[in-house]
């Protein structure tokens, strides 16, 4: 299926070796939104953290809605040092988990940034996560990492970033 004409690939990173993190930097400010497609696995059940513009302060919040086919769960984390892009649907130990992350109004320099992530893993369920970065700076860097110390994204994991122009 072809991409809508409003979406343009910006960068792709397919890992040829395991890696603890993936960074997209020097992001062009010519789009309204960004969409990141993650197809990944991890060396052990892993949770993805996302930091923007190297901000490690307690400026992030996350709201989680998840389910595994038999029981739903919700959660809220405030004043965190990252946006958690996974919760119950941890990255499995094979490259078989897909997450689509939408960074809305990323280049706007007057509003906080909202991040919407939809994810699924055959081994643990589906989820929708809404994140907020309480900063008005335009997003210039996206840093993804495993929040559990010592775990890595698997070789073969891919991360593709798209710019979205207004229709």
Contact status, residue 85 vs residue 12, Cβ threshold 8 Å: no
Determine, yes or no, domain membership for 1: no
Look at residue 1 in the predicted model and tell me its pLDDT.
47
Look at residue 105 in the predicted model and tell me its pLDDT.
95
CATH number of the domain encompassing residue 26: 2.60.120
Determine, yes or no, domain membership for 25: yes
Determine, yes or no, domain membership for 13: yes
pLDDT in tens, the chain (167 residues): 455 568 899 999 999 999 999 999 999 999 999 999 998 877 766 678 899 999 999 999 999 888 777 778 888 999 999 998 876 545 556 666 788 999 999 999 999 999 999 887 666 678 889 999 999 999 999 999 987 777 788 899 999 999 998 76
Instruction: Please return the burial class of 159, using the count of CB atoms within 10 Å of its CB with bins 0-12, 13-18 and 19+.
Output: buried
Determine, yes or no, domain membership for 2: no
pTM as predicted: 0.89
| Structural domains of the chain, count | 1
Q: Which domain holds residue 159?
A: 7-164
7 forms beta bridges with 164
First to last CA, the chain: 19
114 forms beta bridges with 104, 132
3-state secondary structure string across the chain: CCCCCCEEEEEEEECCCCECEEEECCCCCCCCEEEEEEEECECCCECEEEEECCCCCCCEEEEEEEECCCCEEEEEEEEECCEECCCCCCECCCCCEEEEEEEECCCCCCCCEEEEEEEEECCCEEEEEEEEECCCCCCCCEEEEECCCCCCECCCCEEEEEEECCC
């Amino acid at each position: 299926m072809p991409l809508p004409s409003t979406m343009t690939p910006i960068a792709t990173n397919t890992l040829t070796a395991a890696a603890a993190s993936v960074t997209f930097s020097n992001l062009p400010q010519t789009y309204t939104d960004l969409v990141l497609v993650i197809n990944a696995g991890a060396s052990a059940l892993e949770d993805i953290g996302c930091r923007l513009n190297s901000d490690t302060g307690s400026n992030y919040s996350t709201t989680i809605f998840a389910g595994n086919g038999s029981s739903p769960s919700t959660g809220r984390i405030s004043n965190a040092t990252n946006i958690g892009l996974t919760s119950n649907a941890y990255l499995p130990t094979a490259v078989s988990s897909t997450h689509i992350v939408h960074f809305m109004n990323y280049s706007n320099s007057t509003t906080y940034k909202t991040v919407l992530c939809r994810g699924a893993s055959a081994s643990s369920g589906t989820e929708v996560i809404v994140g907020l970065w309480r900063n008005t700076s335009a997003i210039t860097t996206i840093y993804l990492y495993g929040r559990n110390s010592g775990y890595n994204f698997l070789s073969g994991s891919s991360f593709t970033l798209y710019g979205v122009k207004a229709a």
